[in-house]
Structure 1
Amino acid sequence: MNTVFFFRLFRNFTFFMVILAGLQARAEPMHGISMYGTPALPPDFVSLPYARPEAPKGGSITLGNTGGFNSLNPYVHKGTAPWQLRFFTHEALMGRSWDEPFTLYGVLAESVEVPEDRSWVEFTLREGAQFSDGSPVTVEDVVFSYDLLGTQGHPRYHSLQSQIEDITQTGPRSLRITFNTDNRELALLAGLRPILSKAQWEGRDFANAPLADIPLGTGPYVISDFEAGRFVQLTRNPDYWGADIPFRRGTHNIDRIKLDFYGDASVMFEAFKAGDISAVREFNAEKWATQYDFPAVARGDIVKSEIPHGKPSGMTGFVMNTRTPPFDDWRVREAMILAFNFEFINDTLTGSSQPRITSYFSNSELAFVPGPATGKVADLLSPFADDLLPGTLEGYVLPQSDGSERNRRGIRRALALLNDAGWTVKEGVMRNAAGDPLAFTILLTQGSSENKAITDLYVSALRRLGVDVSVETTDNAQYIQRTNAFDFDMTPYRRALSLSPGNEQRFYWGSASADQEGSRNLMGARSPVIDAMIDAMLDARTQEDFVAAVRALDRALTAGRYVIPFWQYTIGRIAHDARLHFPDQLPIYGDGPNFMPQVWWFEDD
């Protein structure tokens, strides 16, 4: 064998290996996508595990909302839309399984492809996917929707837009989105954007469309009637294109869902007792135990169902606006937490039946472990040691009172912290060195009876401390407008969190969102530590690194003292018409709009 033969053999071998490497690097079309590993359900799955594929269709229900609405477009910043619309009227390319963290399955898209580095994602649309007017969903609609939402849509959609390098059509029903950021979650986020009609919105002012301009949807329900501020009627589309795809089989079984609006929660509860509402979610365990004994319950017309879950507690409480004094000082915020006599308030309002939220991710494996930070969590936080607030590395524990109304120990500790921060009591009023009083307002919405009860108990303690606190109540529309503009001092706050936190964390408490009007960063957190922990979470390549980063983030948020935590909701409580039924198998996320009414059905026994 001569030299020329060996050269040709080597050249051919090298060429073969290049082709093989290219084939191995190519992505494969999949029916679903997961952040880590592969989806749990096989390509030929029949339905989601918590749905009943053979559930009967039919029936009508009425659900109650407090407040009102002045928009039927849930995808823009302007106006107040019924929160349920995003779950009923529009589909995305993919949908989240509430039995698996970080896993999506195809809805409008029949398949998804990603390379190992997740630098791009390619979707292939299902043949036959349609808008509710019968027009087909096209690649042009998808590309248009990403641009429209990323520029004129609600601020929650803008972050993804800034991380997209380009979107190109790769086939009659396929498109590829290439990212300019190394962020593995972007492929999943891209699949969750609602798809809008290019024909409806091209050349129009989407962000300021009037109430009557309802976005054309691709979902199971259409808005068939409404009266501004009073009700919205949703009707199941008999020609819904996706009724038999695996992800939707056994879901959206109820023919008509009416959303009625009430001035406050007390009036809504009376409407439920009278049979005008089909189901209510109850968040107060004491009320659940003592006030659901009315005749309809005794007759068996109303059933009380409890739905356990394994998701994080999230954060519920009074959030403090740190953009301006006095809450820009962590010592003042800690004093406010000390003055909040949780044990007494919890006993008074819930009979001490609900445990307190101890951190943002409590009740899950993502919660920080009590005590000093160790291992990878300590490694992540230690470089910021000089900038960390007390308790971040050592471990932060919420104060506990003896349960008495006076809370003397908590008030003494609060006074000491306020003194350290330059505030002293002079003639019964807490003042700083310039003589200015420590004064702020708690902003509430009309009809929020539970928050009003909590506020009344808290205000009395603050006034004993010498704080000049007032309470302001406004209607729902004004409240949303003011909180979107961060025009408040302290206000009730609820941030639900999942087992798969990701890019949305930047919108919740990243520095870049602190002054972004409409962002979820109500507290105004601007912390390099929080930003770095979010980055570490998004950069994680293993479940172990991901959990460590979230636990470190949990420490930084909790020790930031941004929120005065209330009690957590360890189970969902739903009182409902006995003709409403749900499957025996429950999702790990428990209750939510993707459970009730999505997988429920209406049937006379």
Structure 2
Amino acid sequence: MKFSALLSSGLLLLGLAAPVVAQTPTGVWVHADSLTEAPKYAEGFSHFDYVNPDAPKGGTVRLGTRGGFDTFNPILPKGTPAAGLGLIYETLMTSSMDEVNTAYGMLAEAMKVADDYGAVTFRMDPDARWHDGEPVTAEDVVWSFEKVIELSPTYTQYYANVTSAEVTAPSEVTFTFDMTGNRELPHILGQLIVLPQHWWEGTDANGKQRNIGESTLEPPLGSGPYRLASFDAGRTITYERVEDYWGADHPTQIGTNNFDKFAYEYFLDEAVWFEAFKGDQFDWWSEYTARRWATGFDFPAVAEGRVVREEFPEDYNGRGEMTGFIPNLRRDKFDDQRVRRAINHAFDFEELNATVFYNQYARIDSYFFGLPFASKGIPEGETLDILEGVRELVPETVFTTAYTNPVNGDPTKLRENLRAALNLLTEAGYTLNGTQLVDANGTQLSIELLMHQPTLEPIAANLQRNLAQIGVDLQIRVVDTPQYINRLRSFDFDMIYASWAQSFSPGNEQRDFFGSGSVDDPGSRNYAGISDPGIDALIDQLVAAEDRDTQLAIIGALDRVLLAHDYVIPGYALLYSRTARWDRFSRPDTLPEFSNGFPTIWWWDEAKAAKTGGAGR
């Protein structure tokens, strides 16, 4: 459900003690919207419970990131937007960190959903202002919607059921749908990024006409709590607080945005990036490598307590995902499901977990891994009924066989699995000719694995080594991040190692992940090239689900069908985040349930900074 090109808040989750089917009231103005239960905070609330409303303001938080940037235009499918643009731009509604799938008015002070869920109207907050003092208008919303639909295939898929956006009254904008009963669509329209029409249609300091359809490095106009202060193209960006920010006293903003400045620095090489953190060039490190987490933090600042390591389960309380090796079905070599399944037999996760991962990971076995509704076992109940309705369109194994990954971990099991892989490839028309597995034309089965993270090379080498034993040539190609992004967007790859993040309320975004309509859209997240009528039918049902029980039943069906096609060789995942920070910050005593909140609700601590070293003042 959750999608934003700019804002990286955690995906949200609640336990499934009993399904909750509370819905946003229709036909009346409401201050908040929820997909699953009544909003926690009543109209007129003062601030979110998890913030410190008296948090001091000041200091600089320095953040490191990888790659580079070449644009401040947030909606183009090409180019690499700068980090931190979510500090400048805002959306109609904004999420809380202690609820699941609930949003409160931001640029829009209220929303009204049609009785049949065929439309939604947002009423703009009269106080909302751009940084130049101009009001944020309903016209800005309509223009922003039309431009993202025009320019971004991802947004086009996301908002596929929206037929129009119109100003229907002063300060009111109405979105009309081509269907009724889509209870998620009003919610995700609240996530729409709003851009200033008057600025984008104006001219720059040199008198040149701006163009939202082009990349730009002109500092943009926004409505958010920060503005862009300075930058070195592709290398550094600094944002500074907007002193007269319109939303400073807004209940969703109290206790947040506590730093005077955000400073981002880019690094091309991960090893250099980490060394820069150790050298106190930036403040916060998120660790994605098990070996480094286990062995790489023995430098003096850790021993002295100036660098603090901490794991946050909050970040994964509501995060689901499918991560793994993704073959590109647009390449003929992967048309045959047996080829894809054979590759899974050759992946020895168990050996990697013991020797490389320090047993920190679990093997993924669901497209919604980490969420309580991830499918398990043979379908039954309403999920079975839904699958029966599309029986002719889905694999028969969905009804008879629970999905499992092959299990390796010792030489005997690996030999058995490689033998099974070779049998599958033989059935698919390949022949082992000496040390090469060849097709009917004598051409060896060769796969290029495209990567941009050198830390993943040991994982890729495991698969490469095992496939070589059955004559398959796996070539590992590591490219720089910009080249990787460009090739990813144009689907110019045989196979990648990538992921799809999932929320507690999957819905419209599944079309962009797995729907036939996105298979040929450059920049879509249909990395695998999936185009399947059974999956399309289930996604359509999911989007139109009338209640939570039905939604969960359809998710169970969709998950099983995706797994049954072997579109992905599943990888591995954590259920907590691993972080390290220079100890210059404080935070609320109790963190929100679904995020560690950094840096949004943390603040600069002068006393800690004095002990740690004064960087970031």
Q: TM-score of the superposition, structure 1-length normalised?
A: 0.91
Closer, same or farther: CA 533–94 of 1 in aligned 2, 3 Å: same
Query: 1:344–1:404: 8 Å Cα contact kept in structure 2?
Result: no
The code of the aligned residue for 2:443 comes to D
**Structure 1 unaligned residues grouped into runs of 5+:** 1-24
The offset of 1:364, in angstroms, is: 1.6
Residue number in structure 2 paired with 1:319 = 326
Query: 1:78–1:207: 8 Å Cα contact kept in structure 2?
Result: no
Match of 2:491 among 486, 489, 502: 486
Residue 544 (str. 1) matches residue 554 (str. 2):
no
Closer, same or farther: CA 181–205 of 1 in aligned 2, 3 Å: farther
Closer, same or farther: CA 208–169 of 1 in aligned 2, 3 Å: closer
| Whole-Å separation in 1 of the counterparts to 2:57 and 2:143 | 34
The code of the aligned residue for 1:443 comes to L
| Whole-Å separation in 1 of the counterparts to 2:263 and 2:139 | 33
| Whole-Å separation in 1 of the counterparts to 2:189 and 2:171 | 16
Number of residue pairs the alignment of both structures matches: 573
Percentage identity across paired residues of the two chains: 37
Residue number in structure 2 paired with 1:123 = 122
Residue number in structure 2 paired with 1:452 = 457
After TM superposition, the structure 1 = structure 2 runs for residues 580-591 of structure 1, keeping only pairs within 5 Å, are 580-591=585-596
| Whole-Å separation in 2 of the counterparts to 1:533 and 1:429 | 40
| Whole-Å separation in 2 of the counterparts to 1:410 and 1:205 | 58
Match of 1:245 among 232, 239, 250: 250
Query: 1:78–1:208: 8 Å Cα contact kept in structure 2?
Result: no
Query: 1:57–1:255: 8 Å Cα contact kept in structure 2?
Result: yes
After TM superposition, the structure 1 = structure 2 runs for residues 140-539 of structure 1, keeping only pairs within 5 Å, are 140-152=139-151, 154-159=152-157, 162-182=160-180, 183-202=182-201, 206-308=211-313, 309-369=316-376, 371-389=377-395, 391-393=397-399, 394-404=401-411, 407-445=414-452, 448-539=453-544
CA deviations over 1:302-330 (Å, ceiling 9, x no partner): 11121113224302221110111211211
Residue number in structure 2 paired with 1:602 = 604
The code of the aligned residue for 1:459 comes to Q
CA deviations over 1:329-353 (Å, ceiling 9, x no partner): 1110111111011111222221122
The offset of 1:231, in angstroms, is: 1.0
What's the secondary structure of 2:285's corresponding residue?
Answer: strand
Query: 1:356–1:567: 8 Å Cα contact kept in structure 2?
Result: yes
| Whole-Å separation in 2 of the counterparts to 1:227 and 1:118 | 46
| Whole-Å separation in 1 of the counterparts to 2:536 and 2:438 | 34
What's the secondary structure of 1:270's corresponding residue?
Answer: helix
What's the secondary structure of 1:323's corresponding residue?
Answer: coil
What's the secondary structure of 1:381's corresponding residue?
Answer: helix
Closer, same or farther: CA 502–26 of 1 in aligned 2, 3 Å: closer
| Whole-Å separation in 1 of the counterparts to 2:489 and 2:158 | 20
Misfit runs of 4+, over 4 Å? none
The code of the aligned residue for 2:438 comes to R
Query: 2:157–2:517: 8 Å Cα contact kept in structure 1?
Result: no
What's the secondary structure of 1:252's corresponding residue?
Answer: coil
Residue number in structure 1 paired with 2:66 = 66
Query: 2:158–2:509: 8 Å Cα contact kept in structure 1?
Result: no
Closer, same or farther: CA 383–164 of 1 in aligned 2, 3 Å: closer
| Whole-Å separation in 2 of the counterparts to 1:527 and 1:41 | 42
| Whole-Å separation in 2 of the counterparts to 1:511 and 1:123 | 31
What's the secondary structure of 1:373's corresponding residue?
Answer: coil
| Whole-Å separation in 2 of the counterparts to 1:260 and 1:26 | 46
Closer, same or farther: CA 168–35 of 1 in aligned 2, 3 Å: same
| Whole-Å separation in 1 of the counterparts to 2:211 and 2:506 | 29
Query: 2:318–2:504: 8 Å Cα contact kept in structure 1?
Result: yes
The offset of 1:246, in angstroms, is: 1.1
The offset of 1:406, in angstroms, is: 8.1
Closer, same or farther: CA 582–408 of 1 in aligned 2, 3 Å: farther
CA deviations over 1:546-572 (Å, ceiling 9, x no partner): 111111111122222222222212001
The code of the aligned residue for 2:189 comes to A
Residue number in structure 2 paired with 1:566 = 571
| Whole-Å separation in 1 of the counterparts to 2:171 and 2:415 | 68
What's the secondary structure of 1:494's corresponding residue?
Answer: strand
Residue 38 (str. 1) matches residue 38 (str. 2):
yes
The offset of 1:252, in angstroms, is: 1.6
| Whole-Å separation in 2 of the counterparts to 1:452 and 1:69 | 25
| Whole-Å separation in 2 of the counterparts to 1:228 and 1:304 | 32
What's the secondary structure of 2:592's corresponding residue?
Answer: coil
Closer, same or farther: CA 69–497 of 1 in aligned 2, 3 Å: same
The code of the aligned residue for 1:331 comes to R
| Whole-Å separation in 2 of the counterparts to 1:259 and 1:68 | 11
The offset of 1:208, in angstroms, is: 4.1
The offset of 1:74, in angstroms, is: 2.2
CA deviations over 1:61-105 (Å, ceiling 9, x no partner): 2111111111122211121113442x3221011012233222211
| Whole-Å separation in 2 of the counterparts to 1:399 and 1:583 | 44
What's the secondary structure of 1:407's corresponding residue?
Answer: helix
What's the secondary structure of 2:123's corresponding residue?
Answer: strand
Closer, same or farther: CA 430–26 of 1 in aligned 2, 3 Å: closer
CA deviations over 1:147-174 (Å, ceiling 9, x no partner): 122113x222223555333333343322
Query: 1:286–1:353: 8 Å Cα contact kept in structure 2?
Result: no
The offset of 1:216, in angstroms, is: 1.8
> Which deviates further from its counterpart, 143-152 or 401-410?
401-410
| Whole-Å separation in 2 of the counterparts to 1:195 and 1:429 | 55
The offset of 1:215, in angstroms, is: 3.4
Query: 1:226–1:232: 8 Å Cα contact kept in structure 2?
Result: yes
Closer, same or farther: CA 234–566 of 1 in aligned 2, 3 Å: same
Query: 1:283–1:569: 8 Å Cα contact kept in structure 2?
Result: no
The offset of 1:544, in angstroms, is: 0.9
Closer, same or farther: CA 401–214 of 1 in aligned 2, 3 Å: same
> Which deviates further from its counterpart, 351-360 or 38-47?
38-47
Residue number in structure 1 paired with 2:22 = none
**Higher Rg:** 1
Q: TM-score of the superposition, structure 2-length normalised?
A: 0.89
Query: 1:287–1:350: 8 Å Cα contact kept in structure 2?
Result: no
The code of the aligned residue for 1:378 comes to L
Query: 1:117–1:184: 8 Å Cα contact kept in structure 2?
Result: no
Query: 1:46–1:53: 8 Å Cα contact kept in structure 2?
Result: no
Query: 1:139–1:174: 8 Å Cα contact kept in structure 2?
Result: yes
| Whole-Å separation in 2 of the counterparts to 1:585 and 1:566 | 33
The code of the aligned residue for 2:174 comes to R
Query: 1:318–1:491: 8 Å Cα contact kept in structure 2?
Result: yes
What's the secondary structure of 2:252's corresponding residue?
Answer: helix
